[in-house]
């Protein structure tokens, strides 16, 4: 772990193994931290906050810019490590490292844009001045599916704002977190400003993060169930909270859309990271007039997606994170088929060699999906594309909005009026209009409802780490 500027073992001396999800091989060990370690890390961050928060914005900007340069130089090593530890194809790992570094560069620039303002008063002898100042110690919990970019998406704005950090990375991908921390260390981050506690059991760490009086903000990316628990506990202690949670994204193909283009976009997005993405399309609503062309194109595209080890050439889908993930995907597919859906492509776990030692599920296309099936209601987090045919254009937005989630949605239409009405009518935080990549370091990312609170990225991202202070001056 990394506490107060030093790499250290857990207080207990315990460690846990980190494995390759494609092969099951042990690729490293990390300290198995506990409450005592988390408390030490919080105290270190609190002690460093005074000096770090008083540094100039330009100093913090220079440091983040240096971290961006180092991450760019080490991009290939980081991508190789990510594929080894998380399993995604190497091409996708390289893209993620680039995306991760974008947050460092963006927030290096955003650090110098934090401003206050003079406000008018009704009294002639009074002036108001508002300032934006860092909230304090930030506790961050990050997921395994994007083990590098989800760190920089939190660390970049937090450090730019002048906050100090304690990170608990996902237990499945702590080696990536360690490598990212080494980037910041080599960039010159002072001791105590960034701290990291690793643990096989995240619960004791989360309890410290939500209860320790010196933690002033919690930021979490992960499942809705865990996010609700952490947010509730943190809010009970009046901590600032931002959480980016699950999704159940609709993908709507209107009758005026180009169904072939839509299917190509859907296939590219659905199997990104083996479907293990919160913005992955989970419900593909295709108008009956476009269904045949859409399904034909999807069948051909999905049939060409190659599963395998992320280091192998041509692989488009790597392993799922663990056995529980495979079991969940299999259960949803089996339920859908039993209730009348058809597995036009795939539909089963991959068990033969070379897949037998890893956690693989075949890239799958389901047709004939309806609202009686579990996959229609629950997030899959796996490489399964469910197609739902509809006939009533006026009803499709209502169907798409029929979920407690509200993270991402996608619309394909060649009519600007149709697209605009869908953009305005869908209750989701991110809408891709003929676009399957509506994300950027400079754009706000976040959802509504059970998909979370707050935004990451863009100017909204740094605002999550700032408090407003007002001064009233009598003349």
- Nearest one of 197, 166, 186, 403 to 283, comparing CA atoms: 403
Crossing angle of helices 224-236/203-211, nearest 10°?
Answer: 30
Grouping H, G, I as helix, E, B as strand and the rest as coil, residue 138 is: strand
Query: Rounded to whole angstroms, how far apart are CA atoms 175 and 84?
Result: 10
> Residue 410's Cα: distance from chain center in Å?
18
Query: Which H or E element spans position 350?
Result: none
Query: Rounded to whole angstroms, how far apart are CA atoms 1 and 196?
Result: 6
Query: Rounded to whole angstroms, how far apart are CA atoms 136 and 437?
Result: 33
**H runs (alpha helix) in 21-148:** 35-53, 57-73, 75-86, 90-110
Q: Which of 85, 244, 379, 456 is catalytic?
A: 244
- Nearest one of 448, 425, 447, 422 to 435, comparing CA atoms: 422
Q: Which of 278, 379, 456, 464 is catalytic?
A: 278
**Dihedral, 22, 25, 27, 32 alpha carbons, nearest 10:** 100
Q: Is 163 a catalytic residue?
A: no
Query: Rounded to whole angstroms, how far apart are CA atoms 32 and 200?
Result: 6
Crossing angle of helices 90-110/75-86, nearest 10°?
Answer: 120
Crossing angle of helices 174-187/75-86, nearest 10°?
Answer: 160
Q: Is 352 a catalytic residue?
A: no
Q: How far is CA 169 from CA 39, 80, 174, 221, 273, in A?
A: 16, 18, 6, 10, 18
Neighbours of 388 (CB within 10 A): 24
Note whether 302 and 345 are within 8 A (CB): yes
- Nearest one of 198, 192, 131, 182 to 159, comparing CA atoms: 192
- Sequence-separated (6 or more) residues with CB below 8 Å from residue 287: 253, 254, 255, 257, 389, 390, 391, 393, 396
Q: How would you label 226-242 residue by residue, b for 16+ Cβ within 10 Å and e otherwise?
A: bbeebbebbeeeebbbb
Note whether 263 and 301 are within 8 A (CB): yes
Q: Sort strands 315-317 and 342-345 into parallel, antiparallel or unpaired.
A: unpaired
- How many Cα atoms are found within 13 Å in the side-chain-facing hemisphere of 59? 10
| Residues forming the active site | 244, 278
């Amino acid at each position: 772990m990394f506490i107060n500027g030093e790499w250290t073992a857990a207080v207990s001396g315990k460690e846990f193994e980190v494995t390759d999800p494609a092969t099951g091989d042990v690729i490293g060990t990390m300290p198995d931290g506990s409450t005592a370690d988390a408390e030490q890390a919080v105290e270190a961050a609190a002690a460093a906050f005074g000096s770090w928060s008083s540094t100039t914005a330009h100093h913090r900007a220079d440091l983040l810019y240096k971290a961006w340069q180092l991450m760019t130089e080490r991009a290939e090593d980081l991508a190789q490590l990510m594929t080894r530890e998380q399993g995604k194809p190497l091409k996708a790992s390289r893209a993620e490292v680039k995306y991760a570094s974008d947050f460092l560069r963006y927030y290096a620039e955003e650090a110098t844009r934090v401003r206050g303002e003079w406000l008018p008063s009704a009294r002639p002898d009074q002036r108001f001045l508002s300032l934006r100042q860092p909230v304090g110690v930030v506790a961050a919990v990050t997921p395994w599916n994007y083990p590098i970019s989800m760190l920089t998406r939190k660390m970049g704005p937090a450090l730019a704002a002048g906050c100090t950090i304690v990170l608990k990375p996902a237990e499945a991908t702590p080696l990536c977190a360690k490598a990212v921390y080494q980037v910041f260390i080599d960039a010159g981050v002072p001791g105590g400003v960034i701290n990291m506690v690793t643990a096989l059991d995240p619960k004791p760490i989360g309890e410290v993060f939500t209860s320790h009086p010196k933690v002033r903000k919690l930021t979490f990316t992960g499942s809705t169930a865990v996010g609700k628990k952490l947010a509730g506990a943190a809010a009970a202690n009046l901590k600032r909270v931002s959480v980016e949670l699950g999704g159940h994204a609709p993908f709507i193909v209107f009758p005026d859309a180009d169904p072939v283009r839509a299917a190509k976009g859907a296939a590219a997005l659905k199997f990104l990271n083996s479907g293990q993405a919160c913005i992955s399309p989970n419900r593909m609503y295709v108008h009956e007039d476009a269904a045949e062309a859409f399904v034909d194109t999807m069948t051909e595209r999905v049939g060409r997606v190659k599963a395998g080890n992320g280091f192998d050439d041509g692989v488009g889908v790597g392993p799922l994170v663990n056995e529980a993930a495979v079991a969940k995907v299999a259960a949803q597919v089996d339920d859908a088929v039993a209730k009348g859906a058809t597995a036009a492509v795939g539909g089963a776990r991959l068990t033969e060699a070379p897949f037998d030692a890893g956690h693989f599920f075949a890239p799958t296309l389901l047709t004939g999906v309806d609202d009686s099936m579990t996959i229609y209601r629950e997030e899959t987090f796996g490489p399964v594309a469910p197609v739902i045919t509809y006939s009533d254009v006026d009803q499709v937005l209502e169907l798409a909005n029929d979920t407690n989630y509200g993270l991402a949605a996608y619309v394909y239409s060649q009519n600007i009026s149709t697209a605009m009405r869908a953009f305005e009518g869908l209750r989701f935080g991110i809408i891709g209009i003929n676009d399957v990549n509506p994300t950027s370091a400079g754009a706000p990312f976040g959802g509504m409802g059970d998909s979370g609170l707050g935004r990451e990225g863009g100017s909204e991202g740094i605002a999550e780490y700032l408090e407003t202070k007002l001064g009233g001056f009598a003349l």
